[in-house]
Amino acid sequence: MARKPISISKFAHDAALHFLAQPKKYGLTDAIRKNLAEVVEGYAGRCDEIAARRGMEWMREHYRWKGETPRF
């Protein structure tokens, strides 16, 4: 069964840019940075969907860890 094409919201795009702008603050590894960059790319068009999904899941976990509900 084919996966549904990824849909990246403006909020997820903006959140990914926020994390990418402060990699030391969030302790981003190269792999996480790549995944977040794919979230940004995916908002504008084509991307590595697997990496973008990983980036969005990383952001969701970050928000949950802070006790917040992710909006995407």
Q: What is the mean pLDDT of residues 3-17?
A: 90
pLDDT at 3 over 70: no
pLDDT tens column, 18-53: 999 999 999 999 999 999 999 999 998 889 999 999
What band does 58 get if pLDDT is binned at 50, 70 and 90?
very high
25-29 long-range Cβ contacts below 8 angstroms, 24+ apart: 26/62
Q: What is the mean pLDDT of residues 9-14?
A: 96
Domain boundaries, the chain: 10-65
**Predicted TM-score (pTM) above 0.75:** yes
pLDDT at 2 over 70: no
Distance in angstroms (rounded) separating the CA atoms of residues 3 and 24: 34
